[in-house]
A and B are shown apart, each in its own frame.
Chain A
Amino acid sequence: MNIREMSVNGQRIIPPLELSMEKGNILGIQTNVQRKKILLAQFAERRDIYLSFAEQGEYTRLTVEELLRFMKSLSDHNQPVHSMLQLFQLGEYRKVKIADLPASKKIYLSLLRIYYAQQPIIVLEEPYFQLEEPDQLAFARLLEELSEEKQILILTANLEDALISCDTVYRLDEAGLHLLDITDADDEMETRDEPGEAEFKIHKIPTKKNDKTILFNPPEIDYIESINSSAMVHVAGETYACALTLAELEERLQHYGFFRCHRSYIVNLQKVRELITWTKNSYSLRLTTGKDSVVPLSRTKLAELKELLNI
């Protein structure tokens, strides 16, 4: 699937992309709201994609059963309604009007419209955002089942949501797609136990989010911050906890152009755009990643930094 380049006010938002999708592998793209909207607008032009929007409304005066019957006859679906009710675990709500459903169930029901889609590709916008946990699990299970027949893509601004059911997760920014290296917590334990050569150097920075371990390439990282003596890795506006201490990180990263600019900050010098002087003794570094990414620079480190950058 190809995605066209898109620019706003002369600034490139999305480069031309090529996505390879396949059945049985749920794809996730984590990106910001603006890029998400652009992608959705491009997908909407295609006839072979079924789009499930986050603000999808519902026929609130129908009962659950009536809605499913309506969807069935609209899309020539061959499964009888009662077996779909069972599959969706909505048996007890059969006769309940959609307006009277709990909020989470209402959204769950709207999402289930994808089961009636005839298009080979299904794109979901923020499916998990407003679901309660039991419904998230139920939907993730259904999605996995459905992915045997359809190619599924999830667009979300929130990485945690993508992790619920995606097999492959990409992060999208102005440079393009970046594959996120994800391993389950259990898998990682096994590899750790392996008695290997201790000399083997790890270049990736392991971080944790929702029991998943995500490995970042050092150049991806914007900066690292120490909050309550635990390191938080900032990547494209998202934060990830890292078990290493700042001192350990500094040692690992110094060969990648990182710099300890403050007692509790390490910054990726490749991403520094501007040196801001507030007063004679107070400085900050502005990063290229966004307007609000500003990292403090302590006075004692200024000389060292100037030397490093030859200024």
Chain B
Amino acid sequence: MNVSLKRIQAIFIKDYKEFSRNYAVSIMILFPIAFALLYRSEAGDQAAIYAFIMNFSLAMLTSFVQACLIAEEKERNTLRSLMMTPASMLDVLIGKSALVFLISAAVLAFSTYLFGYETSNVMLLTAALGISILLYTAIGTICGLYSKTLLEASLSVFPVLIIFTAGPFALVFEEQYPFLEVLRYLPSSQLSELLVAMEIGAAAGELATPLIIITVWAVVLTVISFILYKKRLMDQ
């Protein structure tokens, strides 16, 4: 499969125009910003609240937009004719993912600024969020592949939203229900742990573990989304 920068760029621009004119989808960029403004004045547990906003935004923005971009293409039968142009399946996926990555990165950076979150280690925070965006893009791709229409895609993101965003909160009940321990290994819980650990100034070794777990999630889900993407499109 050959990849061409020119074609990826063409798909990127096309999807950007479609995204910016589809208000039902592009309104999602307002959620992270609204949440950041809403919680900024809250005193106390800054890192945990910030982690919640980030987790929520990643599911609501990154996964949602990616799923919608793919599902809409399927809904209108345009993917089929796209496959008959020289553009490869990888061109299409990379073009879309690149757009979603950039939008998410910009919005997350802006809401971090609005929230007024300050960290001692900007590099580490950027790396953790960057990997998380990749991870949630892959989830969005999988959701998009399993839905035939835009409506289905927007609904399919809700389980992701509930499991990944609410996961860290369910840890409160861990003492009552020991099996909830698994939720600790969700990427969202790990992101939350990482941010808290950074705030109290933990050692480098302690910081590395959550980052590695998030990276493993990202790699595994990206590989799964690629395989599914190839398989599901062949079936059409």
* A residues in contact (CB < 8 Å) with B: 50-53, 55-62, 66, 70-71, 73-76, 97, 113, 116-119
Contact = CB atoms under 8 A, between A and B. Distances in A.
Q: Which of A57, A75, A116, A118 has the largest number of chain B CB atoms within 10 A?
A: A57
A74 B7 contact: yes
B77 A53 contact: yes
A57 B76 contact: yes
B81 A56 contact: yes
A58 to B, nearest CB: 7
Given A59-B76, A62-B14, A62-B17, A75 B81 contact: no
Given A73-B6, A75-B86, A57 B14 contact: no
B231 to A, nearest CB: 17
B78 interface: yes
Interface residues of B, number: 22
Contacts of B7: 73-74
Contact of B21 (A61, A70, A71, A74): A61
B17 A74 contact: no
Nearest to B74: A57
A76 B80 contact: no
22 contacts: A52-B81, A55-B77, A56-B77, A56-B78, A56-B80, A56-B81, A57-B76, A57-B77, A58-B76, A58-B78, A59-B76, A59-B78, A61-B18, A62-B18, A70-B13, A71-B85, A74-B10, A74-B82, A75-B86, A76-B86, A117-B85, A119-B84
Interface string B39-78: 0000000000000000000000000000000000001111
Contact of A70 (B14, B22, B75, B76): B14
Contacts of B215: none
B180 interface: no
Contacts of A56: 77-78, 80-81
B14 A59 contact: yes
A247 B80 CA distance: 54
B98 interface: no
A193 to B, nearest CB: 49
A133 to B, nearest CB: 25
Contacts of A76: 6, 86
A59 B92 CA distance: 14
A61 to B, nearest CB: 4
B87 to A, nearest CB: 5
A66 B16 CA distance: 12
A51 B18 contact: no
Contacts of B85: 71, 74-75, 116-118
Contacts of A57: 75-78
Contacts of B75: 57
A190 B68 CA distance: 61
Given A61-B17, A76-B6, 17 more contacts: A53-B80, A56-B81, A58-B78, A59-B76, A61-B18, A62-B14, A62-B17, A66-B14, A70-B10, A73-B9, A74-B11, A74-B86, A75-B87, A76-B86, A97-B21, A113-B81, A118-B86
A19 B14 CA distance: 38
Contacts of A66: 14, 17
Contacts of A75: 85-87
Q: When A and B form their complex, which 6 residue pairs have the shortest distance between CB atoms, in order from nearest?
A: A57-B76, A73-B10, A61-B21, A57-B77, A70-B14, A74-B85
Contact of A51 (B78, B84, B87): B84
A118 B7 CA distance: 15
Nearest to A76: B86
A116 B84 CA distance: 10
A181 B18 CA distance: 48
Nearest to B91: A74
Contacts of B77: 53, 55-57
Interface string B1-40: 0000011011101100110011000000000000000000
A50 B86 CA distance: 11
B7 to A, nearest CB: 6
A113 B22 CA distance: 23
A59 B82 CA distance: 11
